[in-house]
Amino acid sequence: MNDWYLQDPTRLNGQPKRTIADYVEQNGILVPRRFDSLAQARASGLPIFIRSEHPWEYNQFSGFFDSFSLDYFEKMTPAVDKLEQIKEAILESRKRGKYNFRGAFLLETYCNLLGENPSGAINGLSFSLWEYLRGIKRVVVADSSIKGRHHIQNSFSSTKQENKWMYDYLVFDNGVFPVKMNHSYNFPSLEDSRQLVDLYENIRNLPRFDKNNCPIIEFLTIDGKNYFLQYHLGREFKEADFKLDRQKKENEQEALLVRGHTPKEGIMGNLTIYYADEGEDYDKWKLPTKEFGAMDTHQNWAFSEIMYPRRQLQVRYTSYKKSLDWELLKFTGGHAKNSQLHRPEISAVYDMGQIASESELERMRDALESGKNQGVEIKLISDGRKAYLERI
């Protein structure tokens, strides 16, 4: 274990976002301004963003809790004077229906599935105060199989007056774009992507981090300047040792996108499509200790967050006849989708019709009454750039 913070989690001070931001800034990297108190934040006269913090967000889940502007908070909540009162005010307001603070529910389910105490976990929730900057949100992740290959997501939310928008998913592979979804008013240039990747690698190789890890790092780009926002641990890098340079066989389906590789001979197992527990209380789902692969056709996000690192294969499916662009657009939408793509050993995107027919899916749903998970036996071979799936 080469990560300084994992060696002693108390070094995160209970606030991974703020603590890592302080460390990154000390190494000469731009970070939005942070504040130690509400009085200091208010006195600055700057727009303020309240960011949720939890010690588990560094290497377990990410995106459970909401963050919001100080202006919004003060409109919804009686005035508070201390930073420590924010959590109490938000949790109390949630009981009255003022906040859709889903993180508390997700964390409770997460803990119940793992057999841990939810109250103790909620106690770990806190908030930090940041200058609220608007720009292009970027997420960069080093590929876990191919050196020099990076996944980049761009999203931009504008005011109605600006009337601008951007949703891009790119694969930047040693200076070229083999995968490029462009739903953008201003597509990032080659030089822009190169500079962002260089900054990512600079942070990734700082002394306190595990250089072999492929972290999920968030940035904000404003007027050509890149600001660090968050670091979340990803998969360990393991280079692919073969090239899948043959054409697919008649009974194989090629992935629309893949991250991660198999052995040269491929892998075989049962791909779960429906869980027997679907429709039941999320807190009472049976939690496998290990799982070959799954598609996550359900909405139990806490279950999925636990299972992503345990899975050998994660299949992200598109609706029938939908394009890859449509699916990549979803990956720009938040932490949960990033976890689904980057935390399992292998992740692949397929059209649902490439996996199972509508009639098969209907039979599987009917078979859930048997109390057994439903899925299909498959073989997958991937070199990290190309993947073929075969029903067996």
Instruction: Give percent above pLDDT 70 in the chain.
Output: 88
Same domain as 326, residue 265: yes
Of the residues 203, 232, 261, the one at which a domain ends: 232
Question: Between these two residues, 383 and 63, which has the higher pLDDT value?
Answer: 383
pLDDT at res. 362: 95
User: Which residues are paired to 34 by β-bridges?
Assistant: 130
Same domain as 345, residue 301: yes
Statement: residue 165 has pLDDT above 90: no
Per-residue pLDDT averaged across 144-172, rounded? 77
At 204, the amino acid letter reads R
pLDDT at res. 182: 60
In a domain, residue 243? The reply is no
CATH number at residue 199: 3.30.470.20
Of the residues 131, 158, 187, the one at which a domain ends: 131
pLDDT tens-digit profile of 275-318? 999 877 899 999 987 899 999 999 898 999 999 999 999 998 87
Same domain as 92, residue 75: yes
Counted domains in the chain: 3
In a domain, residue 343? The reply is yes
Look at 10-14, 32-36, 83-87 and tell me which has the smallest mean pLDDT. 83-87
Residue 160's pLDDT band (cuts 50, 70, 90): very low
Residue 98's pLDDT band (cuts 50, 70, 90): very low
Same domain as 376, residue 263: yes
Same domain as 275, residue 289: yes
In a domain, residue 244? The reply is no
Statement: residue 221 has pLDDT above 80: yes
Mean pLDDT across the chain: 87
Of the residues 131, 165, 198, the one at which a domain ends: 131
Residue 176 to residue 222: CA distance in whole angstroms: 24
In a domain, residue 142? The reply is yes
pLDDT at res. 321: 55
Q: What is the pTM assigned to this prediction?
A: 0.91
Statement: residue 226 has pLDDT above 60: yes
Same domain as 265, residue 314: yes
In a domain, residue 225? The reply is yes
Same domain as 309, residue 278: yes
Same domain as 87, residue 40: yes
Residue 106 to residue 111: CA distance in whole angstroms: 9
In a domain, residue 46? The reply is yes
Statement: residue 366 has pLDDT above 50: yes
In a domain, residue 247? The reply is no
Q: Where are the alpha helices (DSSP H) in 225-314?
A: 301-307
Q: How many helices (H) and strands (E) does the chain have?
A: 13, 18
Residue 82's pLDDT band (cuts 50, 70, 90): confident
Same domain as 173, residue 297: no
Same domain as 380, residue 286: yes
CA dihedral 292→293→299→304, nearest 10 degrees, is: 50
Residue 319 to residue 257: CA distance in whole angstroms: 15
Look at 125-129, 184-188, 202-206 and tell me which has the smallest mean pLDDT. 184-188
In a domain, residue 156? The reply is yes
pLDDT tens-digit profile of 309-357? 999 999 988 765 556 776 676 666 555 577 888 999 999 999 888 899 9
Q: Which of 75-79, 113-117, 208-212 has the highest mean pLDDT?
A: 208-212
Statement: residue 197 has pLDDT above 60: yes
pLDDT at res. 154: 84
Same domain as 227, residue 153: yes
For residue 358, give its domain range.
Answer: 252-391
Sheet order of strands, 126-131 included: 34-35, 126-131, 48-53, 68-69
Same domain as 125, residue 13: yes
Statement: residue 180 has pLDDT above 90: no
Look at residue 388 and give its three-state secondary structure.
Answer: strand
pLDDT at res. 288: 86
Per-residue pLDDT averaged across 214-218, rounded? 96
- B/e letters for 331-354, b = 16+ CB within 10 Å, e = fewer, are bbeebbbbbbbbbbbbbbbbbbeb
